[in-house]
């Protein structure tokens, strides 16, 4: 018997159950099927421009930078400008996301490379699945379209986020994710990213880039 089995056996003995009782099994199955929503914070119950403004405010409070553009066609130029202002090389890595592929990268001087990162890339871009306004958090789903290594390994992480994908709260985000992928078909990982990587473990001194990117730049596409 494994340690896990021993723990569950001890819990069942203390509760006086075996774990196979029909009502208990039915209750668990029903909860998994319904995926009930939690309590929704009042501040997240916004619509339209107010919702986008809350997301931007919260993201910037978490030390991310946010720039708004009108259409997806404006994204490459916005990223090129960000790299220039940050004194970074005009090179970027991305995955196979069709939304990114359809953008006019050729109209910029950026050098584009494709595929997951091996840790040698300075800057990379992914397309976010969603943004959560209550905390300014990005929801990133893993896969060849948007490899998780592009979120975690480069020093400068760039995320493209469509305004229509900004939701107020985590519960709404999870509902959208289940609808998009279907139960039992979820992506291998779902990463929540709130600002750049940082830590204050050593003498309470804030250090950026402690466990990942030292900078997070969000391109919010309004159209």
The mean pLDDT of 157-173, rounded to a whole number, is 96
Domain ranges of the chain: 1-34, 46-221
Distance CA 51, CA 84 (A): 30
Across the beta sheet with 137-141, what order do the strands follow?
166-167, 130-132, 137-141, 190-193
pLDDT at 200: 56
Whether residue 85 has pLDDT greater than 60: yes
pLDDT at 44: 82
CATH topology of domain 46-221: Rossmann fold (3.40.50)
Q: What is the pLDDT of residues 181-198, one digit of tens each?
A: 887 778 889 999 999 876
pLDDT at 182: 80
Whether residue 96 has pLDDT greater than 70: yes
């Amino acid at each position: 018997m494994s340690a896990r089995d021993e723990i569950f056996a001890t819990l069942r003995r203390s509760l006086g159950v075996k774990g196979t009782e029909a009502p208990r099994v039915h209750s668990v199955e029903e909860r998994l099927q319904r995926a009930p929503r939690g309590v929704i914070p009042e501040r997240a119950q916004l619509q339209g421009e107010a919702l986008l403004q809350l997301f931007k405010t919260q993201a910037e409070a978490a030390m991310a930078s946010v720039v708004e553009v009108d259409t997806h066609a404006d994204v490459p130029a916005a990223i090129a400008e960000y790299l220039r202002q940050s004194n970074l090389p005009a090179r970027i890595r991305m995955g196979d996301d069709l939304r990114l592929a359809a953008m006019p990268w050729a109209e910029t001087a950026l050098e584009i490379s494709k595929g997951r990162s091996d840790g040698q890339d300075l800057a990379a871009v992914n397309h976010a699945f969603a943004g959560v306004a209550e905390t300014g958090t990005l929801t990133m789903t893993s896969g060849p379209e948007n490899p998780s290594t592009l979120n975690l390994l480069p020093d400068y992480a760039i995320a493209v986020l469509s305004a229509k994908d900004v939701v107020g709260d985590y519960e709404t985000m999870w509902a959208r994710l289940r609808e998009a992928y279907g139960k039992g078909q979820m992506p291998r990982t779902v990463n929540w990213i709130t600002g750049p990587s940082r830590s204050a473990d050593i003498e309470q001194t804030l250090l950026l880039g402690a466990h990942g990117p030292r900078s997070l730049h969000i391109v919010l596409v309004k159209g």
